[in-house]
Structure formats: C-alpha cells, structure tokens
Amino acid sequence: MLAIDVQDLRKQFNVQKNREGLSGALKDLFKREYNQITAVKDISFQIPQGEICGYIGENGAGKSTTIKMLTGILVPTSGHIKVNGFVPFKEREKFVKGIGVVFGQRSQLWWDIGVIESFQLLRKVYRVPEDEFRKRLDELVERLQLGELLNRPVRKLSLGQRMRCELVASLLHNPSILFLDEPTIGLDIVVKTEIRDFLMKINREHGTTILLTTHDLQDIEALCSRVIMLDDGRIIYDGGLDELKSRWSKGREIHFQFAEHPQLDNLRVLTDGLGVSWSQDNELTATMFLPHAVNVSDALARVVGGGAGIRDIKIVETNTDEIVREIYQSGSASSEATKKLGNVVALDKEAHQGNE
Amino acid sequence: MNSAYLDLIRIRFLMMLAYRVNYYSGIIIYAINIGAYYFLWEAIFGEQTVMGGFTLAQMTTYVAVSWMARAFYFNNLDREIASEIRDGSVAIQFIRPYSYLLVKMMQGFGEGIFRLLLFMVPGLIIVCLLFPVTLPTEPGVWVLYFVMLVFSFLINSQINILTGLFAFFVENNEGMLRMKRVLVDLFSGVVVPISFFPGWLAVTMKWLPFQAITYLPSSVFTGRTAGDEALRVLGVQVIWFLVLIIPILLVWRQARYRLFVQGG
Amino acid sequence: MMFYWSLCVEYMKNYAKTRLTYRADFWIEVLSDILFQGLNLIFILIVFQHTPSLGGWSEAEVVFVYGFFMIPYGVFGTFFNLWSFSERYIVKGEMDRILTRPAYNLYQIVLENIDPPSIFGSIFGAVIMIISWSQLGLPFEALDALMLVVFTVGAVMIYAGLYTALTAISFYSDAPTGILPLMWNIQNYGRYPINIYNKTIRFLLTWLLPFAFVGVIPASYFLDRHEEGLTTLALFTPVVGIVVLVIGITIWNHGVKRYRGAGS
C-alpha cells in the first residue's frame, strides 16, 4: 500500500505587493496587487509504506511547500494527494492524528516547563490512552536516553537534547508517517549519528514511513534508500542514491605517490587506450581520473605493471555532496539538469514499477 | 567626539523614520484619547464656568497640548536599558569609548525629534481641526513653551533611565516599568491637571519632579501661567533637571561596581 | 466537548507550572495590571471632587459602570492574549505547528496564550461594583445575579468577536497595521456614560464597534437608567455578543482558509 501518493501536484502563491505608507496599507486592505509564484510545478511521486525517503533541493526549490501540502497545512492549487489514505487538507483533524511532524527550526515544546509536561499535553491533544502513552513513552525514552532530561525545562536543554525530545513528541501518538523538516540542522556529529540510528530503528521496527528534507547529505546517505531531488518546483531526480551516484559522478580519482619524480608522458603511454587522464600534483604525486566505465583493477594493473616505484595509492570516490553541488550548479538554469537527468528519471520510473 | 553623539541622534532619527507607518496609527490613537477626555471634561464642566482654575476652553487646550507633548517626550529608554542589562549586552557598551548614559540620552533625543516632527506637529494640527483648541498668540509664549518642552523631554528621560537602571538590582523590573508609566501619566498631569488633585496630594506634587514634565509647560501654553511666574516655572524645571543627575550618577556607579566586581 | 474541556484544563495546568517558577512576577503583573486600569478610577474620583454629576450621572453610578466594565474585560483578557499573534504565529511560522494538531486552531492558539493574572482585574471590578451597589442602595435580587452572568458572557463575546476579527487581519496583510492598539483605545469610551458623547460617537459605539455594550449599557440595567432606552438596550447585550462573535469567527476561519491557500 502507498503511504504517500502525489499526482500532478501544483502550488501557486499570490505574493502580496506591499504598498508604501498608511494610505498604501489601507489600499492593501481593500484591493491588493499580487505577483504570482509557482512554488511546486506539477510533481508526481509515490512512496510505499515503510520507506525512508530523502527530499532534497536548494532553498526555495519547493521542499517546504510540498511538506506543508502533505501535512495538510496548505491546500494545493491543483493535483491529487493521498497520504495515509486521507486527502490531507480535507478532514484535517482526523488526518493529522496519523502523522508526526518535526520542524527542525521550531519547537513544539513548552519553553519554561519540564519536557514531560509538554508530552502530557500532547497526549491529551492526540487523545492517546494513558496506558498506551506510558508504554510508548517508556520505549522512546529508553531508546533516546532521555531519562533524566524529562523533568528539565526545555530552555535548559542543549539543542541536541531538545531535538531528541522533539522526536519523541512527534512519535507519542504512534504515527505511521513521520515528516521531518531539517531534523539535524545545527547539531553536532555525535547527536546527528544518534538521531539517524534512532530513525533507522523506528523505521525497521514499527514500519514508520519517513519523509525528510535536509541539507546534510550525510543524512541521506545514512538513512535513505530513495532520494527525490527538487529544483525550481520540479522533480529532477527520483530514485535510489546509488543510481544518483553512478550516473552523476564523473568517476573516481586515484592518487599515486611515487618513489621518484613521475613522467606524465610515460604514465599516459602505460594507460593508453583506457580512456583515463592524468595530472601532476607535485614533485612526487600524480592523479589519474577514471570514468565509471573503466575498471579500477585494469587501470591499476597497467600502472603497477609499468615498473614505477609506488609508495602509496588512494582511491577517491566523488561524494554525494559534490554530485549534488554539481547538479545544482549546472541546473541553476534547471533545463540542462533536467535534460541530463531526463533519461535517468525515465529509467528509474520503470525500475519502480517493476518493484511494486 | 561630539560629532559621534550627534551621529547617534541622526541614526536613531532615521531608524524611527523606517518605522514611521506605526506612528500614523499612533496619531489617531492620541486623537482618540484627546477626544475621550474632551467629551468627559465637557460633561464634567456642565454648567460651571471655572473649575480647578481652568475654563472649559483652557481645559480643552490643556488636554490637547498635554497629550501632544507626551507624544514628543515619551520614549522607551527604560525598556531598552532594562533589556540590554538583562541580556548582558550592556557589558559591551563599557568597552566602547563613550558614555553609555549619554548615548542613551542621544538616542532618546533622536527619537524625540522624530516624534516632534512626524507625530506632535501633524497631530496638533489634526487635533486643532477636530476640537476647539485655542493657541497662544504671543510669540514669547511659543518660545518659552518650546524651551520648557525640551526640559520635559530631559526630565522624563532621566526618570526613564533611572528606572531602567534598576534592572541591575532586581531580576525582573517589568512590573516596575509599567507602574512607573502609570505614575508618570497620573502625576505629570496628563490625565488630570494637578490643580484638581485633593489638597494634600497637590502639595506633595509640588515637591516631586513629575509636574515639570507636563503640568508646568502646558499651564504656560494655555496662558494660565504668565509673566514672571512663567519664568519661575522654567526655573523649577531646570532645578529638577540638575537635581536628577545626582541619583542617576549614584545608581550608575553602584551598577558598574556590581558589574565589574561581582560579575553582574 | 469533553475533549475541549480537558484540553483547557491541561493548558491551565501547564500555565500554572510555568508560573510557579516565577511567582513574584505573577503578583507584580497582577498589581501593575490593576494599577493600569486604576488610572481611570483615580480620574473619576478626582473629578467628582469638583462636580456632583457627570452628564446627569452621580459619582457612585459612574464608579458602578467602571466596576462592571472591568468584569468582562478581565475575563476577556484572560482568554484573549493574542496581541502578538502576527509576530509569533505568522512571521515565526508557529501557525504551521498548530495546523498539524488535531484540534480547532483558534482554540489551540487561545489556550496557548492564556493570561490568568488578568482575571484579578475582574475581581477588582466586582469589588468596586459591590461597594457602589450598596452605596446606591440598590435592591439585589436573584435575577440580578443571573443577568450579571448573562451580560458578562455577552460582553466577553463582543470583545472576543471584535478582536478575533481584527487579529485575523494578519492572515490578509503582513504589514503592521497598528489597528489593535487603536481599538483598545476606542474601547475606553465604553467606560463612561454614553450620553456625554456626540451623536456620531454614540452611534459608532452602539452599532459599529459596540463597546457601549461592554460597559455602560448593561450596567445601566442594574442602575435603572431608562433614558434613551438604555435598560431595554441592555437586554440585547447577549444578542449583540452572539452576532459579533459569529462575524469574528467567520472572518477568522476565512483567514485560515486563505492562509492555507484554499482560495479567497
């Protein structure tokens, strides 16, 4: 069954032009002038239950707008959404009982009182029976090691502690879908790892579907089996992370450190016909660029077999950060990126249909 | 050195200018308040012609000019100082090569000039159109009134600074600031002229600085206080201005002592 | 219904827990609140030193109206503390969080901002009303107690409706309009006998911004003041309340719909 089903979703905003002065403000009250902006442009995607999906894109690409439509905050201009079997913006109050939402930059906890009090209040709001609430809370508290934090006021928590409490708050009513908007923003690496592990476990044990937006691609690498990439309101990539890497990374780099000054020409001769290229970094080191088509062992065999004394070898895979940066740079005029990725998306859709 | 302080006035003025829209509604609010008191006084006078030494015409003028003067001298220096003390940013002010209190005063003055030009003057014109206000005809009264207005501003700012600085000694002085505001409005004579107060209170007021903020200048403006008496009243303002410097310096010294020796 | 009641209790508990940490602040807020309101009472008391009546109303009667005015205002202030709604919920985006929770949005927002110290204003008002009640030698019947409750509820609905509508403006325009303080100042007209104002203001206060219905009109029911049909008009207080509240909530819901982009 699909947790999230989105068809041709579009959202347009009328952005108010504010006129100057009191007379302007009065005029604005009665007759406004607008600029129309399309934040989300007819996107479609499906997320099956139990999947962890990363939703990435630059600021202003339309991520938050999509999340807000999926959580029932905003009403779409056109298109169809079904989340958890509900149309989010209709029957809002019933629908939201089945989802959890964490906005990384905003707190849902009371600032001045113990965390546990906020949880109690949320229990009332979501009408969770007391015993079920206890069970759930105990489990979550143990998982995230919140024990002694529960009675502390939120203002005395560190950002990491607070974020862990926010996660608990969003999970108390046992939602089957969890929306996370920048859940790891501003956290240190230890807390980030903890949170990622926790989300993995929740996903595995309760089958919770998770959709997260993030700027930290490490989150994606650690958590997501699937990535949806947005640019200027359109989906420019939807598929596995590995796919993304293999199709987009330019290949690998192999750094060689030689015993003596290498002759680039000699090296080029050695690897002739493989389609690799060389560059000299300094006195003793040189780098070989390999496209994905070329086998690493073949290339290494040629160089090693060439008899040059090699002190050290380092293989560097282009990481996701670089890939994504690359996509955005080229995709700032988004058409180019779409074109490049066009075939990827097409292929991937087939793969998905095959899976389901 | 001096030009730095002048610059502070200018910057605050420009800052206020950026938020001027808020002040348009402020003018209407003041007009509403003046209107409410105008009708009240009209009903209070009823058949009587003179009350507390005021004729109805004088009272109308008094109410209008007092509220408009308040538009000029009112500022939030107390709140600003208190919040700078509470969030600790006041410590940074000590490493700067200027006097914190003078800086605050200059900022207040920049705000005052803004309020005078964009609040009090247009406000007074609107109020004169709406209500039967009689303006003085002698240029001398105008000059004297404006001099007194400057002292109103200075004395009110001094009181604000003094209450703001108390944030050094108590954890939360929000309530105190609110109470001060009520007391200043009442005792300065904006709400009721001091001559209406019951005897003992009126006498007490003679020995407190609040009357120098509104009651004295507005009395001069309405023509109730004239000639030598008007100059004497100006003298009262000057004396209060000088006297109030003393407690401010004392509190300030104590505050700095707390900040440096006891770490805030 | 049970659900909404239990939510209210829960939010109150949380408020109490928050405030236990700052107990002194609570009482300072109560005190400065009352002092703020008390300014008008002091005005009345001082003025009646000089005149026996205000537009035909005696001192005890005017004080009675003042006391009644405080009761619904205090209740309203307790539950409607949305003065910074635009800042907190629209600009900082907390509205999104509200909309991801399974309860009526306005109810959640109201409960998140309750301000119990305001209720002391009601108590203060009730005490003043009782004192002037006995001074006037008015009879007290069981029906009066019932009417007091009915009028209070009606008046609170008027406040709630008007301010809900005005707060909802934030959904339509993000520019600061300054309209809330404007309204707050206009409502003070409702404290005094309505016959002292001119026709325009009287009409405005009765039918457009019905602040006369939160003070002088219902109070005149108890005072038996029949002029201009005040006592009869008083019986319409709950009706006006319902109408204004329905209008207010309709505008609010329309605003929320607009916020969610469901078309305007």
Q: How many folded domains does chain C comprise?
A: 1
- Residues pairing with A290 in the sheet: A252
Domain segments of chain A: what residues?
2-224, 250-317
To the nearest whole angstrom, how far is the Cα of C15 from the nearest Cα of chain B? 19
Q: In terms of pLDDT, which residue wins out, C64 or B174?
A: C64
Q: How far apart are CA B163 and CA B251, in angstroms?
A: 10
Angle at A277 between CA A273 and CA A280, to 5 degrees: 135
CB contact under 8 A, C18 and A114: no
With CA atoms as reference, report the closest residue to C72 among C175, C159, C152: C152
Query: CB count, 10 Å around CB of B95?
Result: 6
Provide the token pair at B193: 């002229």
Q: C53: which strand partners? A: C58
Residue C164 lies in a domain: yes
Amino acid identity of residue B236, one-letter, is V
Beta strands in chain C (DSSP E): 53-54, 57-58
Decide the pairing of beta strands A78-83 and A234-240: unpaired
| Range from A305-314, B6-15, C151-160 that averages highest in pLDDT | C151-160
Partners of residue B24 in chain A, C-beta under 8 Å = 21-22
- E strand or H helix at A43: strand A33-48
Q: State which residues of chain A have pLDDT below 50.
A: 332-356
The H-or-E segment that residue B51 falls in is strand B50-51
Task: Give the pLDDT of residue B21.
Answer: 65
Closest Cβ–Cβ partner in C102, C175, C261 for A25: C175
Q: Is B46 close to C35, i.e. CB distance below 8 A? A: no
Chain A residues within 8 A of C102 when measuring between CB atoms? 92-94, 96-97, 125-127
**Min distance A218 CA to chain C CA atoms (Å):** 27
Question: Which residues of A are less than 8 Å from C3 in CB distance?
Answer: 127
Chain C residues near residue B26 by CB distance under 8 angstroms: 178
Q: Is the dihedral of CA A264, A267, A273, A275 positive or negative?
A: negative
Q: What is the pLDDT of residue A356?
A: 29
Q: Residue B20: is its pLDDT beyond 70?
A: no
Best residue in B30, B40, B176 to probe C by mutation, most C CBs within 10 Å?
A: B40
Give the residue from chain C lying closest to B27, CA to CA.
C182
Chain C interface mutation, best of A23, A75, A123, highest count of C Cβ atoms under 10 Å = A75
User: Is there a domain that residue C223 lies in?
Assistant: yes
CB contact under 8 A, A106 and C260: no
Smallest CA–CA distance, residue C161 to chain B, in Å, is 21
Residue C102 located in a structural domain: yes
- What's the mean pLDDT when you consider all of chain B? 86
Give the pLDDT confidence score for residue A336 in this predicted structure.
42
pLDDT at residue B141, rounded to an integer:
92
Evaluate the CA torsion angle B160, B162, B167, B173 in order and state its sign.
negative
Q: Which of C81, C112, C38 is nearest to C180 (CA)?
A: C81
Interface of B with A (CB under 8 A): 21, 24-25
Cα A254 off chain centre by: 29
For residue C51, give the nearest of B25, B44, B182 by CB distance: B44
Q: Is residue C144 part of a domain?
A: yes
Phi, psi of C7 (to 5 degrees): -65, -45
pLDDT at B213: 94
Rounded to two decimals, the ipTM of the complex is: 0.82
A23 at interface of B, judged by CB pairs closer than 8 A: no
Among chain A residues, the shortest Cα distance to B23 is held by A22
H or E segment to which residue C19 belongs:
helix C2-20
Higher confidence at residue B95 or residue A8?
A8
Shortest Cα distance, chain A CAs vs residue B17, angstroms:
11
Give the pLDDT of residue A58. 81
> Do the Cβ atoms of B25 and A21 come within 8 Å?
no
Residue range C225-237: average pLDDT? 83
Retrieve residue A24's tokens: 């302007």
Instruction: Please give the structure tokens belonging to residue C91.
Output: 């600009």
Mean pLDDT of chain C: 87
**Structure-block tokens of residue A170:** 């969003």
B22: confidence class by pLDDT, cuts 50, 70, 90: low
Q: What is the C-alpha separation between A79 and B88, in angstroms, rounded? A: 52
Q: For residue A239, how many other CB atoms are within 10 A of its CB?
A: 21
H helix count then E strand count, chain C? 14, 2
* Torsion sign, CA atoms A139, A142, A145, A149: positive
- Identify the contact set of chain C against chain B, taking CB-CB distances under 8 A: 22, 24-25, 28-29, 31-32, 35-36, 38-39, 42-43, 46-47, 49-51, 53-55, 175-179, 181-182, 185-186, 188-189, 192-193, 196-198, 201
Q: Is the Cβ of C226 closer than 8 Å to some Cβ of chain A?
A: no
- Averaged pLDDT for residues C71-90: 90
Residue of C nearest to B19 (CA): C176
What are residue A231's DSSP bridge partners?
Answer: A234
Summarised one tens digit per residue, pLDDT across range B105-126 is: 888 888 888 888 888 888 888 8
Q: Which helix (H) or strand (E) holds A13?
A: strand A2-17
Q: What is the dihedral of CA B86, B92, B97, B98, to 10 degrees?
A: -20
Nearest CA to B134 out of B49, B55, B195 is that of B55
Contact B28 C182 (CB under 8 A): yes
Chain C: nearest CA to B172, how far in angstroms?
7
How many domains is chain B built from? 1
Question: B170-208: per-residue pLDDT in tens?
Answer: 777 778 888 888 889 899 998 889 999 988 988 998 899
For residue C124, give how far its alpha carbon lies from the nearest alpha carbon of chain A (Å). 29
The answer, as to whether pTM is greater than 0.90, is no
Amino acid type, A108: Q
Query: Is pLDDT of B71 > 60?
Result: yes
Cα–Cα dist B81/B252, whole Å: 12
3-state secondary structure of A198: helix
Q: Which of residues 69-108 of C touch A (CB under 8 A)?
A: 92-94, 96-97, 99-104, 108
Whether residues C97 and A97 touch (CB distance < 8 A) is answered with no
Cβ burial, residue A90 (10 Å; 0-12/13-18/19+):
exposed
**B neighbours by CB contacts (3+ pairs under 8 Å):** A, C
CA-to-CA dists, residue B189 to A112, B147, B192, B193, B249, angstroms? 40, 19, 5, 5, 27
Which of C105-125 are b and which e, b meaning 16 or more Cβ less than 10 Å from the residue's Cβ? bbebbbbbbbebbbbbbbebb
Residues on chain B touching C196 (C-beta within 8 angstroms): 39-40, 42-43
pLDDT of residue B261: 60
B79 shares contact with chain C (CB less than 8 Å): no
In whole angstroms, give the CA distance from residue A105 to residue B83: 25
The answer as to whether C264 is a domain residue is no
Q: Pull the structure tokens for residue C25.
A: 């602040």
Closest residue by Cα to residue B29 from A316, A3, C189, C162? C189
In terms of C-beta density within 10 A (0-12 exposed, 13-18 middle, 19 or more buried), how is residue C231 classed?
middle
Q: Which domain holds residue B58?
A: 2-261
Task: Tell me the CATH architecture of domain A250-317.
Answer: 2-Layer Sandwich (3.30)
Query: May I ask the CATH class of domain A2-224?
Result: alpha beta
pLDDT grade for B260, boundaries at 50, 70 and 90: low
Picking from A233, A236, A213, A235, the residue whose alpha carbon sits closest to that of residue A223 is A213
Pick the residue from chain C with its C-alpha nearest to A23: C177
For every residue of A89-137, DSSP letters joined together read TSSHHHHGGGEEEEETTS--S-SSSBHHHHHHHHHHHTT--HHHHHHHH
Q: Does the CB of B186 have a partner CB in chain C at under 8 Å?
A: yes
Q: Which residues of C touch A28 (CB under 8 A)?
A: 173, 175
For C174, other C-beta atoms within 10 Å of its C-beta total 14
- Give the gap in angstroms from C-alpha C229 to the nearest C-alpha of chain A: 37
* d(CA C256, nearest CA chain A) in Å: 10
* Nearest CB to C36 within list B36, B172, B178: B178
Q: Looking up tokens 């001119």, which residue turns up?
A: C198
Per-residue model confidence (pLDDT) at position C154: 96
